Amino acid sequence: MYKHIFFDLDETLWDYYANASAVLQRLYIEFDLVAVGVENADVFTQAFYRGNNLAWHKFDIGEFSKETLRLNRFALVFAEMNLPATAVPDGLEGAFVSLCPREGRLIEGTIELLEYLKPKYTLHIITNGFNGTQALKMESAGIDQYFATLTTSESNGSRKPMPEIYEYALASAGAAASQSMMVGDKIENDVLAAERVGIHGVYYNPHSHPHTEKLRFEIKDLLELKEVL
């Protein structure tokens, strides 16, 4: 039935939190953030996730452009620690953007799953990230070889959960929605949005987050996808 399987990237295959945390711990030391009032590396890391989520929310609703996001992300992070934007060291954003995509930690089971799927299906990525960043993540983690196409929000001007990004991805892949599956860790962006255009969605929910949606498929471990197929 299925010929094409589409995956989200961050926190579905590429371990965003592990990779970002490693880089943030390093940057805390390299930029001597204690000198500008950041209590410790753990406080900095947790503030980053809150501020970064806010920055991406502003991007998703069109309030931030790519450039604005990168100019303001760490100002939002520092605001989470009650520190002024003027305390953000020069070069911090650039260092994070350069280093983070080069980290290669993957969600457990990723390589085993891709090795299983590759001979049987054509695999693709759909992500709300930026072209160069997401491609570098895949290359650094050694998974770029498994995928036929990479669709990013930057590549077509639309973002998950908009239907346009899924339609673009299907067209790029030469895939029929009725023969396609989408796997991701966000119910709205990855599962319900895919279902709206006729793609069967699989919710990857490793932490058993509660929800009230009636979903076609839900898995806690990536390797459970074998049973779904």
Residues 85 and 122 both lie in one domain: no
pTM for the whole thing?
Answer: 0.94
**Contact by Cβ (8 Å): 184, 8:** yes
Residues 98 and 112 both lie in one domain: no
Residue 213 confidence (pLDDT): 97
- Tokens 């319900």 appear where? 192
Domain residues for 24? Answer: 16-102
Altogether, the residues listed in the chain come to a count of: 229
Residue 204 belongs to domain with CATH number: 3.40.50.1000
For 119-171, the pLDDT digits (tens) are: 999 999 999 989 999 999 999 999 999 999 999 999 988 999 999 999 999 99
What letter would DSSP give residue 187?
Answer: I
In angstroms, the CA 110 to CA 223 distance is 8
